[in-house]
Amino acid sequence: MRGLSTHEATLRDTLAQAAEHERLVFLCSFQKEESVILDELLGVAPHAKVVTIDTGVLFPETLETWRRFEERFGVRVEVEDAANPVAPWTGPEHCCTPKKVEALERAVAGADAWITGIRREQNELRADAQPVEWDEKRAMWKFNPLVDWTEKDLWRRIAERELPYHPLHDQGYASIGCATCTQPGSGREGRWAGTDKTECGLHV
Nearest to 144 by CA among 163, 164, 128: 128
Sign of CA dihedral 60, 97, 70, 147: positive
- What single DSSP character describes residue 195? S
> Which position among 95, 178, 181, 200 bears the catalytic label?
200
200 has catalytic annotation:
yes
Measure Cα distances from 116 to 30, 44, 133, 171, 194 in Å: 12, 16, 11, 24, 26
Nearest to 198 by CA among 103, 127, 146: 127
Amino acid symbol at 143? F
How many beta carbons lie within 10 A of that of residue 25, not counting itself? Answer: 24
The helices-and-strands tally (H runs, E runs) of the chain is: 5, 6
Contact assessment for residue 176 and residue 31, using Cβ atoms and an 8 Å cutoff: yes
Catalytic residue positions, numbered: 200
